[in-house]
Amino acid sequence: MPISENKARSLRGELYHAFTPELVAERRRCARACTAYNKAEGITRRQQVELWKDIVGDTTPLPPRKEDSTEDADEELLASYAWVEAPFHADYGTNVRLGEGVFINFNCTIIDTCLVSIGARSLLAPNVSLYSGTHPLDPDLRDGTNGPESGKPITIEEDVWIGGNVVVCPGVTIGRGSTVGAGSVVTKVSCDVCFQCGQVC
């Protein structure tokens, strides 16, 4: 399905308007999918993965359950899929990419104006926020809901551990194997296998 030029600008990190009918509808779709995921109780691992796929708009079929298999055996079949604890919140969902074996703990928020990718085997502690969206610094241009917005991609590479209550800002890449200490605000690109900690790092 072709997308509008306004949405294309958002994905390219250019100024765009977020309150068009197209983008409002996409955010509402994601909100409904997140609500279904967050309210689900007593579900199987397969049902959990299917609900997650609804959030991110992934239509790829899951591997079929083997005949007469137990729940444990079926979970093993799905072992490579990311595990995301509820509650989880995203803006669009369709710009979120998770690698194999990713674990995201409670209360993660992803503002996925642009692509937000999390590499294989990475771990996110509770209350992590990934913000790929941003606003103009000029208040006259910002203009509340009437003004434009923009964004920059966030890339978390493989084998990263992000501590609790971390905020990752637009345009950040966190290098492979790195650790980010709890409570940090990450504003800069990091090298591979490094440790970051602090209010602004």
Instruction: Give 199's contacts (C-beta < 8 A, 6+ positions apart).
Output: 183, 184, 185
CA nearest to 74, candidates 85, 61, 64: 64
Q: Assess whether 135 carries a catalytic annotation.
A: yes
- Identify the DSSP state of 100: T
Instruction: Give 156's contacts (C-beta < 8 A, 6+ positions apart).
Output: 117, 118, 119, 122, 130, 162, 168, 173, 174
Report the C-alpha gap between 108 and 89 in whole angstroms: 6
Among residues 17, 135, 136, 158, the one annotated as catalytic is 135
Q: What are phi and psi of 55, to 5 degrees?
A: -60, -45
| Residue whose tokens read 């642009």 | 114
Amino acid at 126: P
For residue 118, the cross-strand partners are 98, 156
Q: Are 104 and 81 in contact (CB under 8 A)?
A: no
CA nearest to 27, candidates 114, 87, 91: 91
Residues serving a catalytic function are 135
